Amino acid sequence: MSTSPEDMTPLDRLGASRRRFLSLASLGTGAVALSACATGSGGDDADADGGGAVAEGGGDVSDDNPFGVAEDSSVDVVIFNGGYGDQYAIDAGEKFEELFPSVTVDVSSTVNIQPDLQPRFIGGDPPDLFDNSGAQSMNASALISEGSLSELQPLVDAPSLDGGTIGDSLLPGVLTPGTYSGKLYALNYMYTVFALWYSATQFEEKGWEVPATWDDVMAIGEEAKSDDLALFAWGGQNAADYFHELALSMAIKEGGPEVAKVLDRLEEGAYEQPTVVDAFAAIEDAVKEGYFLSGGAGIKHTEAQTEWVMGKAVMYPSGSWIENEQRSTTPDDYDMTGAPTPMLSDGAAMGPAAIHGAAGEPFMVPSKAANGAGGLEFLRVMLSKEQCENFSKLTSSMTIVKDTIPEDGFGSTALSSVSSMISEAGEDVFTFNFTDWYGMGDTFKPLWAEFLNGDITAEEARERSQSAIDKIREDDSAEKFDVE
């Protein structure tokens, strides 16, 4: 089963580009043959390991022009026009032209990255920078194997417009998703915090405290049920998968980062780790208690989210894109707010402030770009605090740059809570990768839809999940990825 572009969720998009990087990794020479259909032959700067260096721009190199963007040149930028739109990039282009008055910036957008850009790569005329997102993103594995993507470490080492280096300005761990075999090929611009979302207005009216443990969540569920409210909304397979994320995050928070590593290594018994068992049992308890809004199997996730913000359910697990996604349906006085993943017990290995955080929306610079230096400079502009703040104002979402969200979240309670969660978590941030690495969304989505609908037990859900990762582990033709 595949996910159509119109049904693709932000969670799908976070993993889509990385999956496309990995999808041909195990095909050997076949990967090269297939990639020839998607890329050019690679630039002269492409190295044997599949990386490319950005050619010098031809201009004078300085702290204000670290990549040597040439005067009277042009910069071609292509943006994925999805949930974040393209206005933030248009604005960054205007700022670029302020800094380099003789340079022309062309920002275009599309939802069809691969169909639109593949012919350009074949013809040796790729853009200078592109946002490789969406259901039809480019196959990054093919691009890298042909040397068609530039390494982006020079960007990280370059001076920031705000002082220091770009690297100094970034949140912890945000370069990891775009790093392959030790080389940075993608700069993931957007930062997502996965949380339990609720209406602060409703919580205040009901006298509810923000839940720190699963027992706290269930206590709210009991009170909500007495008021004819559901604890959770869910809709179709996409929203069901959000509860898989919740379960694994609770398990990792309870047992520590090693729980995630066991899952990422596809180990035997990964889904029988004690904290994973406990997390699945916790979700099952909520199902058995009738705390889920009925009818979820027959609606889309966006419909479920609308039911939630319209007051039929109390909480919803999702990434921090949720406010922007539901902007048109959320009441003005809702005060959407996020709480960190609840602990399974007071003795959790990671404290109550620990969060599941991940970077997404990968930007790439082709090695055969006519003005790769301009592509890097455009990213440097995007990573200034001014442009990061603008992105957040426009989308109610965070970038990977630190200290860009004011206390009031630009008037967004959701964004303000995200900033607070990141600040309070400090280095206590975790994630897991196996579902994206091995493209397992289409396996887990229907499974969790059955689980939340009460059609299978927690034990059956774990057994089927374990069988799925066992199948990948035992498949010698499937490339496996190292876990540090």
In the chain, where the domains are located: 6-192+361-420, 193-357+433-473
Per-residue pLDDT at 245:
96
Q: What percent of the chain has pLDDT over 70?
A: 88
Per-residue pLDDT at 13:
56
Structural domain 6-192+361-420, CATH architecture:
3-Layer(aba) Sandwich (3.40)
Phi/psi at 119 (5° precision): -60, -30
* 3-state secondary structure (DSSP) of residue 59: coil
Answer CATH for 193-357+433-473 from 3.40.50.10320, 3.40.50.1370, 3.40.190.10, 3.10.150.10: 3.40.190.10
CATH topology match: 6-192+361-420 vs 193-357+433-473: yes
Q: Tens of pLDDT along 355-373?
A: 999 998 999 999 999 999 9
Segment 331-349 mean pLDDT: 97
Most confident of the ranges 33-37, 285-289, 411-415: 285-289
- What CA–CA distance (Å, rounded) separates 228 from 337? 22
54-63, 315-324, 404-413, 443-452: lowest mean pLDDT where?
54-63
0.95 cut: is pTM over it? Answer: no
* 3-state secondary structure (DSSP) of residue 99: helix
Segment 249-276 mean pLDDT: 98
Most confident of the ranges 14-18, 264-268, 427-431, 480-484: 264-268
Q: Tens of pLDDT along 68-80?
A: 999 999 999 999 9
Q: Tens of pLDDT along 101-160?
A: 999 999 999 999 999 999 999 999 999 999 999 878 887 767 877 899 999 999 999 999
Q: Based on the number of CB atoms within 10 Å of its own CB, is 283 exposed (0-12), middle (13-18) or buried (19 or more)?
A: buried
Angle between helices 385-395 and 87-99 (to 10 degrees): 160
Segment 14-40 mean pLDDT: 39
Per-residue pLDDT at 319:
92
Per-residue pLDDT at 55:
62
Per-residue pLDDT at 41:
31
Q: What percent of the chain has pLDDT over 90?
A: 74
